[in-house]
C-alpha cells in the first residue's frame, strides 16, 4: 500500500518526538524559566511577578562577582589547556603508535574513570591532596617538602583536569585515528622532518577534532560544580558555585542567580556557535 | 618551459651513469621476505618500470628507494651515495603516491609549494616555481582550489607537480594511473611520457599493468615473489622472455611443453607431449644455451599465420617452418583484432591472433597454422 505523502512528512517528527519532549520539558522550559526569573528583582522563593527589569544583571557588574566569573573562565581555560597538552600525546600514541590489538583496551582504561561517580572521584582526590593525604605521605617519606594544595585553586584544577581528560582523549583519538598516514609519508617525501610534518600536516588535519575536544572540555569545566565545591574550599569561589549559593545558600537571591545562569548559558552558546562556525570552515576543506 | 624545473638534473646527466643501485637488497616483514636479494641498476634519465603481480614486492622496492622502508640486508645507492640510514626527508627523490596523498587542508598551490616552503626558499622563488609547475601540468586555473574540489585526473596532476617542483634526481611513481578510468589512463600515459622527455629526469614507475609498462618504459624489471625475473627493454621482455613467468605475465602466449630430440647450433628439434615435431631457433635460456632436456615452447598468438588451404599442397616453400593442420573452435572479437582458438589434430589447442574479422568469419573445414622457428622460444623446464 503506498504511503500517503503526509505520513512520510510526519515520520521524522514522530521519530524526534520522544527526545524532543524530553528536551523541551527538562532543558528548554527550565532555561526559559531561568530567563524569566532573572528579569524579576528581589524575587523570593515561590513568588513570581511579571518580569520587569534588568536590575539583577546589573548586580553582576559588582567587582566581586566579576572577579568570580573571571576566575571561572580562567580556571576553565587552564583546565582545557591542560587536558589538551596531556591528552594529545596519549591520543596520538594510542591512535598511531600503539599496537592495533591494544587500542581498544587502552581506550577502555582511559574511559574507566567515567564509570564512577564524579563525587567519588572528588573525594578520592581529597584523600590524596589533603595535608595528611597520600601525596604528602609519599613526599615526606622521600624527605621532600610537603605541598599544601587542598582547598585552593591547584586542587580544583587537578580535579577538573582529571575529570575531563577522558573526554579530550576520546575525541582526539577519534580524529587522529582517521588521519591518513600516507600524508605523513608524503610530507617526509617532500623533505619535512618529523616535527615539521607534525606541525604542518598532523595538527591541521586533526584541527576539527581539537576544536571539538576543546569545546567539550571548556563547557564542562565552566559548568563544573562538584570539583570546585569539594576541592576548592572557600577561597576558590566560581560562577557555578555562586549560582548554587544564590539558590540554595544561606541568603538566597534567585534573581541574581538566574541572571548569572542566563549569562553563563549565553556565553557558552556563543562559544559553541563560534567554534562550530570555525569547525565548519575546517570541515569544508576536508 | 621545463628548463626551470629540470636545471639541476640535466646539468649532471651523464649518458650511462647510474642513478639508483640496489645491491643484494632484502626486506623481511614479520619473518616474511617481501624482497629477496634484488640487484638492480637504474640509469640516469631513463623511464624505468617495475612490473609484477600484486604482492610481488614491487611497491616495497619503491618504498625502499623512497626511504619509507629500510632494507633488512643489502645496500641501496642513489647517485653513488649509500642511502642506508638516510630518512626519506633527506633523499633526493620525490614520490607520486598511489592515491596521491594530497594535503586536504591546503590549496593546490600550497600543496605544490609544500616542499619548497620546507626548504625555506624565498617567497619569490617559491611563487615562480609553483607557477612553472602548474603550467607544466596545465593546472593554472585551479591553483586556489582544494584537492576535494578536483577530479581524479586533476588530483593526479597536482601530485605530479608537487613532486616535480622539488627537482628530484629521481621521480618515483607508485601505480600512478591505477585509480583512473581507461580514457584518462591513456591521456596520462602520454602526459607522463611528455613530462619525462621534457624534464629529462629519471622516472621509476611501479605498475601491475603490462601494457602500460611496455608502452611507456625504456626498461622494465619484471618481479615475482620478491625477486627480479628479468630486466630489459620492452622488446627484450616481450620477444625474449627469460623465464616462463615473464612469458606468461607479459601478453598472451601459447605454451607447448616437450622434449628436445635433436640439436644443432642453429636449430632445436622438439617433440611436444602431444606428438608434434616442432623446430625452434635456440636462444639463451637464463645463462645457458639449451641442447637437451625438457622445454616449454612459447609462441605468441600474433606470430602464427592462419591459412585456409594446406600450404604444402599450394607449393609454398616451407623449409624449416612449423605447419600443422587443425580446425577452428571459437573466435573472440576484440575490436582491433580477433582471437581464434584452433584445435590441432593431436587435440592441442592454440590461440591465434588474426588482424581482421572478415578473414575468420567464413571459415569452415580444416585450417592450417604456420610459424617460423625464429618466432617461438624454448625455455628450459625443470626435469
B195 and B306, same domain (yes or no): no
Tens digit of each residue's pLDDT (9 = 90 or more) over A120-156: 888 999 999 988 888 989 998 898 888 888 888 999 9
Best mutation site among B86, B95, B99, B105 for testing chain A: the one with the most A CBs within 10 Å?
B105
Q: Where residue B271 sits, what CATH number does that domain have?
A: 2.40.50.100
User: What is the model's pLDDT at position B145?
Assistant: 95
Three-state secondary-structure class, residue B225: coil
Q: How confident is the model at residue B234 (pLDDT cuts 50, 70, 90)?
A: very high
Q: How confident is the model at residue B383 (pLDDT cuts 50, 70, 90)?
A: low
Residue B268 has pLDDT above 80, yes or no: yes
Mean pLDDT of A236-265: 88
Tens digit of each residue's pLDDT (9 = 90 or more) over B164-190: 999 999 999 999 988 788 888 888 899
B237 and B262, same domain (yes or no): no
Residue B250 in any domain: the answer is no
Mean pLDDT of A91-96: 93
Residue A194 in any domain: the answer is yes
Angle at CA B153, nearest 5°, toward B149 and B157?
A: 90
Residues 6+ apart with CB under 8 A from B140: B131, B134
Residue B251 in any domain: the answer is no
Selecting from B90, B101, B114 the residue whose C-beta is nearest the C-beta of A180 gives B101
B225 and B316, same domain (yes or no): no
Residue A190 to residue B148, Cβ atoms within 8 A? no
B160 and B195, same domain (yes or no): yes
User: What is the model's pLDDT at position B42?
Assistant: 95
Mean pLDDT of B327-356: 88
Residue B249 in any domain: the answer is no
B149 and B212, same domain (yes or no): yes
Residue A187 to residue B105, Cβ atoms within 8 A? no
B196 and B272, same domain (yes or no): no
Q: Where residue A130 sits, what CATH number does that domain have?
A: 1.10.3720.10
Q: Which residues of B touch A180 (CB under 8 A)?
A: 101
Please say whether the beta carbons of B324 and B310 come within 8 A: no
Best mutation site among A189, A193, A282, A286 for testing chain B: the one with the most B CBs within 10 Å?
A189
Query: For residue B181, how many other CB atoms are within 10 A of its CB?
Result: 10
Range of the domain at B371: 257-380
User: What is the model's pLDDT at position B2?
Assistant: 44
User: Mean pLDDT in chain B?
Assistant: 87
Mean pLDDT of B241-258: 88
Q: Kindly give the pairing relationship between strand B47-51 and strand B219-224.
A: parallel
Q: How confident is the model at residue B196 (pLDDT cuts 50, 70, 90)?
A: very high
User: What is the model's pLDDT at position B7?
Assistant: 43
> Across chain B, how many H-helices and E-strands are there?
10, 22
User: Rounded distance, CA A286 to CA B20, Å?
Assistant: 37
- Of residues B315 and A200, more confidence is placed in A200
Residue B105 to residue A182, Cβ atoms within 8 A? no
B73 and B160, same domain (yes or no): yes
User: What is the model's pLDDT at position A280?
Assistant: 52
Range of the domain at A214: 62-252
Report B:128-187 residues touching A (Cβ under 8 A).
Answer: 146, 148, 162-163, 166
Bridge partners, B170 (sequence order): B93, B202
Domain count of chain A? 1
Residue B344 has pLDDT above 60, yes or no: yes
User: Rounded distance, CA A49 to CA B256, Å?
Assistant: 104
Mean pLDDT of B134-158: 93
Q: Which residues of B touch A186 (CB under 8 A)?
A: 95, 97, 101-103
Q: How confident is the model at residue B14 (pLDDT cuts 50, 70, 90)?
A: very low
Domain count of chain B? 2
Residue A188 to residue B89, Cβ atoms within 8 A? yes
Q: What is the percent of chain B with per-residue pLDDT over 70, rounded to a whole number?
A: 91
Residues 6+ apart with CB under 8 A from A221: A75, A76, A79, A80, A160, A164
pTM metric for this prediction: 0.80
Phi first, then psi: give them for residue B12, nearest 5 degrees. Answer: -100, 10
B315 and B275, same domain (yes or no): yes
User: What is the model's pLDDT at position B83?
Assistant: 93
User: What is the model's pLDDT at position A283?
Assistant: 46
Please say whether the beta carbons of A172 and A214 come within 8 A: no
- B68 contact A CB<8A: yes
Q: Where residue B115 sits, what CATH number does that domain have?
A: 3.40.50.300
Cell numbers standing for residue A173? 583519538
Residue A41 in any domain: the answer is no
Residue A16 in any domain: the answer is no
Please say whether the beta carbons of B25 and B221 come within 8 A: no
B136 and B214, same domain (yes or no): yes
Residue A183 to residue B103, Cβ atoms within 8 A? yes
With a threshold of 0.85, tell me whether the complex ipTM lies above it.
no
Cell numbers standing for residue A87? 591528552
A176 DSSP 8-state letter: H
Amino acid at each position: 500500500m503506498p504511503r500517503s505523502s503526509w505520513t512520510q512528512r510526519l515520520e521524522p517528527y514522530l521519530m524526534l518526538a520522544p527526545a524532543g519532549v524530553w528536551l523541551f520539558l527538562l532543558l528548554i522550559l527550565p532555561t526559559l524559566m531561568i530567563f524569566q526569573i532573572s528579569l524579576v528583582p528581589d524575587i523570593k522563593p515561590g513568588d513570581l511577578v511579571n518580569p520587569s527589569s534588568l536590575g539583577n544583571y546589573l548586580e553582576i557588574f559588582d567587582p566581586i562577582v566579576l572577579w568570580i566569573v573571571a576566575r571561572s573562565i580562567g580556571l576553565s581555560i587552564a583546565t582545557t589547556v591542560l587536558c589538551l597538552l596531556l591528552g594529545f600525546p596519549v591520543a596520538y600514541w594510542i591512535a598511531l603508535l600503539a599496537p592495533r590489538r591494544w587500542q581498544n583496551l587502552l581506550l577502555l582504561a582511559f574511559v574507566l574513570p567515567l564509570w564512577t561517580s564524579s563525587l567519588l572521584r572528588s573525594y578520592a582526590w581529597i584523600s590524596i591532596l589533603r595535608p595528611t593525604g597520600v601525596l604528602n605521605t609519599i613526599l615526606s617519606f622521600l624527605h621532600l617538602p610537603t605541598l599544601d594544595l587542598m582547598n585552593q585553586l591547584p586542587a580544583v584544577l587537578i580535579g577538573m583536569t582529571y575529570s575531563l581528560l577522558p573526554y579530550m582523549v576520546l575525541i582526539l583519538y577519534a580524529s587522529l585515528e582517521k588521519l591518513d598516514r600516507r600524508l605523513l609519508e608524503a610530507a617526509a617525501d617532500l623533505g619535512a622532518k618529523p616535527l615539521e610534518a607534525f606541525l604542518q600536516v598532523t595538527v591541521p588535519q586533526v584541527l576539527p577534532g581539537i576544536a571539538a575536544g576543546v569545546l567539550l572540555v571548556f563547557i564542562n569545566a565552566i559548568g563544573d560544580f562538584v570539583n570546585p565545591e569539594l576541592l576548592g574550599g572557600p577561597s576558590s569561589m566560581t560562577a557555578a558555585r555562586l549560582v548554587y549559593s544564590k539558590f540554595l545558600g544561606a541568603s538566597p537571591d534567585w534573581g541574581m542567580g538566574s541572571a548569572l545562569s542566563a549569562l553563563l548559558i549565553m556565553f557558552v552558546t556563543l562559544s559553541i556557535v563560534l567554534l562550530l562556525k570555525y569547525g565548519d570552515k575546517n570541515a569544508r576543506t576536508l | 618551459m621545463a628548463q626551470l624545473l629540470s636545471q639541476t638534473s640535466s646539468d649532471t646527466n651523464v649518458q650511462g651513469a647510474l642513478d639508483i643501485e640496489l645491491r643484494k637488497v632484502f626486506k623481511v616483514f614479520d619473518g616474511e621476505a617481501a624482497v629477496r636479494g634484488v640487484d638492480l641498476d637504474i640509469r640516469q634519465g631513463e623511464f624505468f618500470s617495475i612490473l609484477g603481480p600484486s604482492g610481488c614486492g614491487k611497491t616495497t622496492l619503491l618504498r625502499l628507494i623512497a626511504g619509507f622502508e629500510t632494507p633488512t640486508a643489502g645496500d641501496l645507492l642513489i647517485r653513488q651515495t649509500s642511502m642506508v640510514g638516510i630518512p626519506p626527508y633527506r633523499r633526493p627523490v620525490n614520490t607520486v603516491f598511489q592515491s596521491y596523498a594530497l594535503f586536504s587542508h591546503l590549496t593546490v598551490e600550497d600543496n605544490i609549494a609544500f616542499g619548497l616552503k620546507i626548504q625555506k626558499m624565498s617567497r619569490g622563488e617559491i611563487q615562480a616555481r609553483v607557477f612553472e609547475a602548474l603550467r607544466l601540468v596545465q593546472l593554472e586555473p585551479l591553483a586556489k582550489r582544494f584537492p576535494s574540489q578536483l577530479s581524479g585526473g586533476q588530483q593526479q596532476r597536482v601530485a605530479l607537480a608537487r613532486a616535480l617542483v622539488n627537482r628530484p634526481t629521481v621521480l618515483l611513481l607508485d601505480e600512478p594511473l591505477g585509480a583512473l578510468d581507461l580514457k584518462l589512463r591513456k591521456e596520462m600515459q602520454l602526459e607522463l611520457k611528455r613530462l619525462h622527455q621534457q624534464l629529462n629526469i629519471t622516472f621509476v614507475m611501479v605498475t601491475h599493468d603490462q601494457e602500460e609498462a611496455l608502452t611507456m618504459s625504456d626498461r622494465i624489471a619484471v618481479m615475482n615473489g620478491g625477486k627480479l625475473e628479468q630486466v630489459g627493454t620492452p622488446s627484450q621482455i616481450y620477444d625474449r622472455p627469460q623465464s616462463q613467468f615473464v612469458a606468461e605475465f607479459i601478453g598472451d602466449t601459447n605454451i607447448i611443453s616437450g622434449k628436445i630430440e635433436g640439436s644443432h647450433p642453429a636449430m632445436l628439434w622438439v617433440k611436444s607431449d602431444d606428438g608434434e615435431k616442432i623446430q625452434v631457433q635456440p636462444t639463451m635460456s637464463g645463462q645457458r644455451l639449451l641442447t637437451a632436456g625438457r622445454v616449454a615452447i612459447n609462441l605468441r598468438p600474433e606470430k602464427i599465420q592462419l591459412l585456409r588451404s594446406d600450404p604444402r599442397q599450394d607449393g609454398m616453400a616451407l623449409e624449416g617452418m612449423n605447419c600443422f593442420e587443425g580446425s577452428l573452435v571459437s573466435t573472440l572479437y576484440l575490436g582491433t583484432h580477433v582471437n581464434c582458438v584452433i584445435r590441432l589434430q593431436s587435440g592441442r589447442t592454440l590461440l591465434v591472433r588474426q588482424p581482421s574479422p572478415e578473414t575468420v568469419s567464413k571459415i569452415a573445414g580444416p585450417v592450417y597454422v604456420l610459424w617460423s622457428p625464429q618466432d617461438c622460444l624454448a625455455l628450459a623446464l625443470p626435469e
